[in-house]
Amino acid sequence: MTDHTHDARSIEPLLRIMAKLRSPDGGCPWDREQTFATIAPYTLEEAYEVADAIERGAHDELEGELGDLLFQVVFHARMAEEAKLFDFGDVVAAICEKLVRRHPHVFGDEQERVASADDQTRRWEEIKREERDAGGATRVLADVPVALPGLARAAKLGKRAATVGFDWPDAAGVRAKVTEELGELDAALGSADKGAVASEVGDLLFTIANLCRHFDLDPEACVRGANARFEQRFDHVEAQVRAAGGDWGAHNPDALERFWQEAKNATR
């Protein structure tokens, strides 16, 4: 039996396990047939599970979730090595080089002073823009990942446009835009044009995501919080219905709303 005793300071045991899983000689059939495309959804899922553990304060779960996410990186790197594209060492070297390049105030020969985290954020975006320009990018919004969740990408697009001054001056301006978009949605609803409604709902969601950005809030975290509150409050409503015999049809909307308000008041 192979000894997988590991040193927490070394990635080598995990790389060996991954190589064995992908090996045509005694490897795992499922692991061998995977591709970048088939593994990508699992990579996203593991990243969300890390975020979920953090948001729930489940630090006892975080170690395992981070390990699952690291395994995804190793999996992609192994497939790339097999395709002679790059290997895990190249991934490490690339991120090390990038971090040093993007922190000249820490690693530069003549360390520049950065007064605050906000200053560093601005400098970080400047460096990224310089990198895109050097790489021949012709669009300000180039390389904003299409695969990002919709709300996250909306905020990212707004943040990128803001680097060249295309942004609302403050949160109040975004809030006014929300009111404007609600008015346009009302007009679309009046037209009974489903396509127009979809377009206006999209514009409203885009604006809401950027309102979050102006308050330094993660729109995805905000909606996950709303989902959790809905689930918790709905569970209370369901418990009340079950306690009364379990017949949802025996409770009119007003009764269900009372249960909802009870739950809402209890979770404020």
Instruction: Report the pLDDT averaged over residues 225-240.
Output: 95
What predicted TM-score, i.e. pTM, was given to this entire model? Answer: 0.68
Query: Is pLDDT of 66 > 80?
Result: yes
Decide if pLDDT at 6 tops 60. no
Whether residue 212 has pLDDT greater than 60: yes
**230 has a pLDDT exceeding 60:** yes
Arithmetic mean of pLDDT, 223-231: 93
What percent of the chain clears pLDDT 90, i.e. is strictly above it? 74
Residues 138-142: contacts with CB within 8 Å, 24+ apart?
Answer: 140/164
- CB-based contacts of 199: which residues, under 8 Å, 6+ apart? 188
Rounded Cα distance between 161 and 139, Å, is 10
Mean pLDDT of the chain: 90
Q: Is the dihedral of CA 49, 51, 56, 62 positive or negative?
A: positive
Give which of 98, 65, 85, 90 is closest to 15, Cα–Cα: 90
pLDDT range class, residue 256, cuts 50, 70, 90: very high
pLDDT surpassing 90 at residue 129: no
